[in-house]
Structure 1
Amino acid sequence: MRLIERVWFYRDNARYWLVPLLLPLTLIFALLTRFRRWCYRIGLKKTQQLSEPVIVVGNIGVGGNGKTPVTLSLIELAKQCGYRPGVISRGYGGKAPHYPYLLTSESTAVESGDESYLIYQRAQVPVCVGSDRIAAGNKLIELGCNLIIADDGLQHYRLARQCELIVVDAKRMLGNGLLLPAGPLREGKARLQKADLVIFNGVETLATEQLNLLNSVDGRYLLERTITMRLAATKVVNLASKQVMSVSEFTKRFSSVNAIAGIGDPARFFTTLTTIGLDCQHSRGFVDHHHFQASDFADYDDNIPLLMTEKDAVKCQGFAKDNYWYLTVDADFEPSAQEKLTSLLVKLNIGK
């Protein structure tokens, strides 16, 4: 893990000197972001309304918090409610030939970005990427989508939205609670007040730490708009052969694996592998959105399964070996949480 992330999220002596050094930059960042929000509030900058409802799935901090699994679940719920959903995203890390870029069967993760490509493959709905979310959303509406789901983009205030879902990592929470770069936050915790739903990823029920955060922001009112979820491992897929195994079948066949992860919190993936009964002989974390190359795996034994996340797998298909596998995970919501999500979707349709 990078030094700055240890300072943000974990106990590290460097915080005593690094955080004070970064606080002046944090002050500048805070002033700039507040001025930007103020410009939208008084009308100096204009928000733009799409002709179809928009749901934003985002977070107030940096790093992976579980937004993509939430987006995938939201897509399925939207279909059940009769919507024709489409997804817009910035396509972080991608290098598309043009923007807005509509994914097709010929697209690659290099062009669209790993998360956008994963959503397109898994959900089989229209996905359009580009920094101009308005243009991307309009392109999907032209295709017949009547619900636009923005994967990330909580701070993209130019795009008007009817609903906001904010995902919080229940393990790392808000780190040291400071704005960038002294802390991991792009917006302060008070931003949670404006969310239609706050989703804590990684717990079945709210613990003291989460309750204290909610109480420090908005007390009982925010608690009514909070749900929890866990990421459930569902199956294991071979990159080369496309063979699919259940998790139980895989763990019976292979007790030991090597593992890599290029996500916001690699340790969470490695913990998941241990939880399902696998012994990780060698695990290595990469920075989020790392562009994998075959040379990254030169030191791994080809006779032992190499297990990775689905997000990493979309970037390794071109050089996959027979021992490369990826684990798929889905957002696991309690029935009451699914009811809250469904209720939000139904209200969007009523409001049209």
Structure 2
Amino acid sequence: MNRKLYQAVGRPLAPLYSFMMRVREQFYRNGVLATTTLPVPVISVGNLMLGGTGKTPLVQHLARLLQRHGFQPAIISRGYGGATKERVNIVSDGRQVRLEASYVGDEPRLLAETLPGVLVLTGVVRKLPAAQAVEMGANVLLLDDGFQHLAVRRDLDLVLFNADELAGNSRVFPGGDLREPVRALYRAHAFVLTGVEEANIARAVRFKNMLQEKFPGKQVFFSGSRAIGLVRQDVNGQRMQVLPKELGGRRCFAFCGIARPEGFQKTLKQLAIEPVAFKALADHHVYKERAVQHLLQAAASARADCLLCTEKDLVKLRGLAVNCTLKLPLYGVIMQAAPESSLDKLVLNYAAGKKQWLPQT
């Protein structure tokens, strides 16, 4: 069932889901459901939309920013797509990466691999890994995909919108793309429009103006996104950063399992990489040996001589590369968020406890 048909079928149920989310929010607001306050600043990076809004690159950027300014950040994630049922999972203790993507999810593993010195912990009940991170020495927490996780009080709530998708059809799931009704945005402290570029800047400005009109007092920031290079991963999982020119003249079979595959295709065009074939898989796709063999068969049919994917896909292919005798070179694209410097300043102020405004209710 395609997306539009699914939403048309689900539209009659959307008011019920919307009502349930409003009731849940009120339960937290009125103390019926408990909210945990942690002894260090908590910065949430989340969204209102289903699907990808560029949270992972922004969390990477903020973790590095905090590190550079002397903080010891920890990233707390639910660990979506991981097999673990443990209440607390230490993906990285800041010195070494401990757990595989199949166990804790692709995004936490990617964050752990790319952020040396940063604690990365997962758990469905996020107050537990958050408390553990504080015990391990973290003095500021980044709550990854945390906007709907109201059980942990946050000092700064950033809500992201992708500049191409914005608010979608503005309807609540399952009749639309929203996780909650639009009024939930009153909880946010600030908004970040990600993936802003020349082609969508005019639309992004209009959306920014609308947000500022509807939610006065809340700042709106722009963030670009750029590919900064490639990484080659061998069959043993060892990675080496390489220049895009290494793919010059090669026949690449590109694939990805992310929410917005069209975004990856756009990135490849910006890198002047024209794959001989492209395969879009489901978001958080679980790579098993049979699936990898199918990819290899598709690559062979296209007469490709290398494979190309996102970094998020790359971390899930490490163990399978050996078992599936992955003979073709495997590359991943390294993405980096480039937000306005004023967003960096805001985050550093909150991390230091210098709040610039109180949440509006």
* Distance of 2:56 and 2:185 partners within structure 1: 19
Q: Does 1:245 align with 2:246?
A: no
* Distance of 1:191 and 1:209 partners within structure 2: 23
Q: Does 1:340 align with 2:326?
A: no
Structure 2: runs of 5+ lacking an equivalent: 356-361
Equivalent pair of 1:193/1:218 in contact (CA under 8 Å): no
Report matched runs for 1:275-286 at 5 Å.
275-286=270-281
- Given candidates 219, 228, 234, the residue that maps to 1:234 is 228
For normalisation by structure 2, the TM-score amounts to 0.86
Equivalent pair of 2:256/2:279 in contact (CA under 8 Å): yes
**In terms of mean alpha carbon deviation, does 142-151 or 300-309 score higher?**
300-309
- Tell me what 1:213 maps to: 207
* Distance of 2:31 and 2:185 partners within structure 1: 23
Q: Deviations over 1:253-305 (max 9, x none)?
A: 33541100100001110121122111111001001000113223232137522
User: Cα gap change, 1:39/1:265 in structure 2, threshold over 3 Å: closer, same or farther?
Assistant: same
- The structural deviation recorded for 1:167 is 1.2
Q: Deviations over 1:113-136 (max 9, x none)?
A: 000000001012111101111001
What SS class does the counterpart of residue 352 from structure 2 fall into?
helix
The letter for the 2-side match of 1:264 is A
- Tell me what 2:51 maps to: 63
* Distance of 1:223 and 1:281 partners within structure 2: 48
- Given candidates 27, 33, 40, the residue that maps to 2:21 is 33
The letter for the 1-side match of 2:179 is R
* Distance of 2:53 and 2:146 partners within structure 1: 14
Q: Does 1:261 align with 2:256?
A: yes
Q: Which runs of 4+ in 1 moved over 4 A?
A: 220-224
- Tell me what 1:177 maps to: 170
Equivalent pair of 1:255/1:277 in contact (CA under 8 Å): no
For normalisation by structure 1, the TM-score amounts to 0.88
- Tell me what 2:2 maps to: 3
Equivalent pair of 2:107/2:312 in contact (CA under 8 Å): yes
- Tell me what 1:138 maps to: 131
* Distance of 1:216 and 1:190 partners within structure 2: 14
* Distance of 2:55 and 2:127 partners within structure 1: 20
- The structural deviation recorded for 1:36 is 0.5
* Distance of 2:10 and 2:231 partners within structure 1: 43
Q: Aligned-residue CA RMSD in angstroms?
A: 2.2
* Distance of 1:167 and 1:261 partners within structure 2: 22
What SS class does the counterpart of residue 21 from structure 1 fall into?
helix
Equivalent pair of 1:214/1:222 in contact (CA under 8 Å): no
**In terms of mean alpha carbon deviation, does 199-208 or 100-109 score higher?**
199-208
- Tell me what 2:100 maps to: 108
Equivalent pair of 1:54/1:160 in contact (CA under 8 Å): yes
- The structural deviation recorded for 1:351 is 4.2
* Distance of 2:209 and 2:154 partners within structure 1: 26
User: Cα gap change, 1:178/1:297 in structure 2, threshold over 3 Å: closer, same or farther?
Assistant: same
User: Cα gap change, 1:20/1:280 in structure 2, threshold over 3 Å: closer, same or farther?
Assistant: closer
Q: Does 1:80 align with 2:68?
A: yes
**Percent same amino acid at aligned positions?**
27
Equivalent pair of 1:64/1:263 in contact (CA under 8 Å): yes
User: Cα gap change, 1:19/1:325 in structure 2, threshold over 3 Å: closer, same or farther?
Assistant: closer
The letter for the 2-side match of 1:80 is R
- Tell me what 1:129 maps to: 122
Q: Deviations over 1:181-201 (max 9, x none)?
A: 010101233433433331111
- The structural deviation recorded for 1:97 is 5.7
**In terms of mean alpha carbon deviation, does 139-148 or 323-332 score higher?**
323-332
- Tell me what 2:359 maps to: none
**In terms of mean alpha carbon deviation, does 297-306 or 181-190 score higher?**
297-306
* Distance of 2:201 and 2:333 partners within structure 1: 28
User: Cα gap change, 1:69/1:165 in structure 2, threshold over 3 Å: closer, same or farther?
Assistant: same
- Given candidates 145, 148, 156, the residue that maps to 2:149 is 156
